[in-house]
Amino acid sequence: MRLLIVGALEGQLSTATKMAMTGGAKVAHAPSIEIALAALRAGRGADLLLVDVMMDIVGLIAGLEAERISIPVVACGVETNAAAAVNAIRAGAKEYIPLPPDAELIAAVIAAVARDNSEFLFRDPAMERVVKMADQIAGSEASVLITGESGTGKEVIARYVHSRSKRAHKPFISINCAAIPEALLESELFGHEKGAFTGAVARRIGKFEEANGGTLLLDEISEMDFRLQAKLLRAIQERLIDRVGGAKPVPVDIRILATSNRNLNDAVREGQFREDLLFRLNVVNLKLPALRDRPGDIAALSEHFVAKYAKANGLPPRMLNAEARDALLRAPWPGNVRELENTLHRAVLLSSGDMIGADAILMPDGTGLTEAARSHSLSSQLAQTAETMSRALVGRTVADVERDLILDTLDHTLGNRTHAANILGISIRTLRNKLNQYADEGTLVPSPGEQRVA
């Protein structure tokens, strides 16, 4: 893990640095906020910032947000700095570590950050097959496209591939293509030179250069603007990038992973994604099954999340009873692992005893798992019926579909023109004109009180 310590490196902060290094962290140092931001702009990334509480943490976090740099900040200082500690937390610092430093506490913070980045649990055979393929291709340099519904763990499997690759000890950099405005994404990916555009107050190293030697994850790549895809394709093919406003290409050595919750073949057919870029990215496809298709993982993850959130909230250990486990297996989980985690966090807080029953497992709107499963089943049936009806219309003209709809409605009303017109939402005059047209074309039109002969 990469740790950047911000502040005067002396005394107790120096001791904290040595403890972090002993705990396996790669440590860099910046004596001021400005130097820290400059280092991050220059591509010397970090997974965690440990900042002296007497520094301008409000300014640091504002600077990170302005630069769209997402790194957790932990403040540290002597215990007498209570007001400064409160201000740091209010500004956005994740934790406060009192000084003099405690080796176990620093190790725990580092371990927590590392665990958040690499937590991966699976038991189901469907997921085992995906992981087996990931193990087979991890050591290669092939680009990998990871697909699956939102919340299935695409970024988790990407980190897994990186951790077992030849680049495991190099940076793993992730960028969410859907979360960054279209006008800024090019700068985020390729960097920019000072003065390249309004607000470019200094040179900024992009994600490609920051990931140099390691792995770059392009998360939700399907949301990338079509015009930018051409520049991305060149960067992948040539291993050269052009900073915005730059005068010469910059070579990079990276492995590309990408994720998408959309079918990119459909996006190609719709003209929203470049086919040549898809070919470059999709050397290997890891397709993650939905959680509802991984019952073994539902059981294992449920136990894991219950233990995790009982401990995190200072509660005694809790377990799921048989009824709760059965209800979890029957639930549809449209939000996949992310939804399961949030639901069980809520269940841990709502349950009153050591055993968690099905009644404590509620959806955000207060409905239980049984009701949610029933609602999802009905929605699926309606969607399937609508899809079947839609397919039945393919290949037919609008005029043919309109004629059948009008005549079927007239059958339903036993030939009552006024009632049929009201159901169809058209005037009685329009209906009569249509019926006269159909009769002239030789179509049987029922008289009032009659139905067409089947």
Residue-wise pLDDT for 370-419, tens only, equals: 666 565 554 455 455 555 566 666 677 888 888 888 988 888 888 888 88
Phi/psi region, residue 270 (left: phi>0; alpha: psi -120 to 50; beta: rest), is: alpha
pLDDT at 378: 45
Please give the pLDDT value at position 23.
60
Read off the pLDDT of each residue in 149-175 and give the average, rounded to a whole number. Answer: 91
For every residue of 85-131, DSSP letters joined together read HHHHHHHT-SEEEEES--HHHHHHHHHHHHHHHH------HHHHHHH
From the number of C-beta atoms within 10 Å of its C-beta (0-12, 13-18, 19+), residue 383 rates as: exposed
pLDDT of amino acid 379: 47
Tell me if 2-116 shares its fold with 291-371.
no
Task: Write the CA distances from 319 to 85, 325, 346, 376, integer angstroms.
Answer: 36, 10, 14, 27
**Residue 289: is its pLDDT beyond 90?**
yes
Per-residue model confidence (pLDDT) at position 8: 74
Alpha-helical segments (H) within 270-426: 275-281, 295-312, 322-330, 336-350, 369-393, 398-412, 417-424
Mean pLDDT computed over 293-319: 90
The reported pTM is 0.65
Q: What is the CATH number of domain 128-287?
A: 3.40.50.300
* pLDDT > 90 fraction of the chain, expressed in percent and rounded: 33
State the average pLDDT over residues 207-225.
92
Q: Give the mean model confidence (pLDDT) for residues 332-351.
A: 89
Contact residues for 187 (Cβ-Cβ < 8 A; gap 6+)? 196, 197, 200, 204, 206, 244
Q: Where are the domains of the chain?
A: 2-116, 128-287, 291-371, 398-440
Task: Choose the CATH number for 398-440 among 1.10.10.60, 3.40.50.1370, 3.90.1150.10, 1.20.1440.80.
Answer: 1.10.10.60
Torsion angles phi and psi, residue 101, rounded to 5: -70, 150
pLDDT at 119 over 80: no
What is the CATH T-level fold of the domain 291-371, as seen in this structure?
A: Helicase, Ruva Protein; domain 3 (1.10.8)
309 compared with 364, residue with greater pLDDT: 309
Q: What is the pLDDT of residues 45-82, one digit of tens each?
A: 787 888 888 888 888 888 888 777 778 888 887 766 67
Second-level CATH architecture of 2-116? 3-Layer(aba) Sandwich (3.40)
